Structure 1
Amino acid sequence: MPLTFLSAEHDAQSSPTDGPLPHGQPDHWRRPYRPGPWRVGGAAITLLLAAYLLLSAMIIAMAGPPSGASATAICAALAIAFALRLLRMGIWVSPRGLRRVGLVRTQTLRWREVEAVRTVQQPVKWLGLPRSVQGQALEVLPRRGEPLRPLVTDHSADFLKRADAFERAADVLEAWAAEHRTEGAGRRGEGSRRR
């Protein structure tokens, strides 16, 4: 079973104009970078904890009351859901728009709703913890409303100590935004000329 949320379906070196991948659908959401070792390691530890919880639930079910086994199994299921969501976090793109997947919330913007995608120097959270350090963040500016909270930074779980990978991912995301915003503007111009 392919785990598409673990692999970068779009090579960070390629341009957004490259054709669809042979194993991917043309309108499929892609994360244009690989999850970093910190994110994968955190998910692996969480899944290991879930395995111990499931084993404990089985032992409790054989030896004790079923309510204790049920509670332990529910904790294991929550740990598995947390690990999978942790692996999905990040910025995803498709020809339709840009999606920011957080731990509990997902925001999707169509390309026509995006004003700009750019890299800015600002204080960023170190591995998502309250501690802030000076770094770079990928900022998504919508045409209306507040900018999206940066999820992709050079100190996030995907790019900590991987500055080159952050720069490649930022370049690819900015290229996707530039290309698809101009395509949307061209289509809007053609529609207004037909009227």
Structure 2
Amino acid sequence: MADNWVRPYQPGSGRWLVIAWEAFALAMLSWATVRQFDLIGHGVRVVACLLAAVWVVGAWRILQLGVYVSADGVLIRGLLRSRVMTWREIASVRLHRATHRLGPWQIESGATVLLDRLDGATVNTELWEKGVDFHSRPTLFRAVYQEIRTRHRTAAEPT
């Protein structure tokens, strides 16, 4: 598989807001843990270092989240795992309009890009029209979707 993965979009500034929120939440967790267990000295340092390490790893993964493409396939980096698929494994690239039902109301949550595999499985790309990367940039979302479709179509053409 290729080593030249390219993310066909620049991440949104909302990622930094998420990272800052996580830092605040982990600081509050650290404070609550120290208070709850009456930690002092080394205990405070251990809790602080452990949660700081969790934050650093989490922040790095948040910055790396996304869909990357190459001539060989697509790489989907999620928060906990990454997945690589060759273009030959993908039957189609499509948009899915997600809606949620709340009693008698339908609440639309925007479009997501899905990959339909040849084996019948569907893979979520984590590209979401209302997400932190595309919320204020809907034309970029469509452009990224078209880029992925074009790369898939080009890879499927016989040479």
- Structure 1 distance, partners of 2:68, 2:131, is 16
TM normalised by structure 2 equals 0.76
- Find the counterpart in structure 2 of residue 178 from structure 1: 153
Asked if structure 2 preserves the Cα contact closer than 8 Å seen for 1:120 and 1:136, the reply is yes
Q: Which residue does the alignment assign to 2:76?
A: 100
Runs of at least 5 residues in structure 2 that lack an aligned partner in the other structure: 32-39, 101-106
Q: Which of 57, 60, 67 is the equivalent residue of 1:81?
A: 57
Task: Identify the structure with the greater strand proportion.
Answer: 2
Inter-partner Cα distance in structure 1 for 2:99 and 2:151: 25
Q: Unmatched 5+ residue regions in structure 1?
A: 1-25, 57-63, 125-131, 187-195
The CA RMSD measured in Å over matched residues stands at 2.5
TM-score between both structures, scaled by the size of structure 1: 0.63
Q: CA deviation at 1:95?
A: 1.6
CA shift digits 1:118-171 (9 cap, x unpaired) = 2233338xxxxxxx6342221111111410124112111111132111111111
Q: Distance in 2 between matches of 1:135 and 1:179?
A: 27
List per-residue Cα deviations over 1:3-38 (Å, max 9, x = no partner).
xxxxxxxxxxxxxxxxxxxxxxx8411110111122
The question of whether the paired residues in 1 share the 8 Å contact of 2:95 and 2:112 is answered with yes
Moved over 4 A (4+): 47-50
Report % sequence identity: 23
Q: How many residues align?
A: 142
Matches of 2:16 and 2:144 in 1, distance apart? Answer: 17
Match of 1:155 among 130, 142, 150: 130
The answer to whether the aligner puts 1:116 opposite 2:92 as a matched pair is yes
